[in-house]
Amino acid sequence: MTHAIVLIEAERGAMPTLGSRLADIEGVGQVYSVTGAWDFVAIVHVPRHEQLADVVTAGIGQLEGVSRTQTMVAFEAFSRHDLEALFSVGQ
């Protein structure tokens, strides 16, 4: 299984609907609206590395309202417990 994090910059007019359209793409597991330089973060899970191009380039990148993307392929996955601990900092 290949996992990737895709940072997405959106056109202002697309903000209200783009999140749900991103989530509808096969291979996209989660989509988050975020603060900062990027507008959305999509977590992609595909069985084969070669399928990333279909999801990111043909899927996410072709959606109306997507200005640009940056994709980071995960090298190593940590346990759910480790990830929950990471995201619960300050709670």
Q: Is 7 strand, coil or helix?
A: strand
Domain with residue 23: its CATH number is 3.30.70.920
> Which among 32, 57, 29 has a CA at the least distance from the CA of 43?
29
CA atoms within 13 A on the CB side of 40: 29
Q: Is 51 strand, coil or helix?
A: helix
pLDDT in tens, the chain (91 residues): 899 999 999 999 999 999 999 999 999 999 999 999 999 999 999 999 999 999 999 999 999 999 999 999 998 876 666 556 656 655 5
For residue 15, give its domain range: 2-87
Q: Is 72 strand, coil or helix?
A: strand
pTM, rounded to two decimals: 0.83
**Which residue bears the tokens 């910059």?**
9
The structural domain count of the chain equals: 1
Q: What is the DSSP letter of 39?
A: S
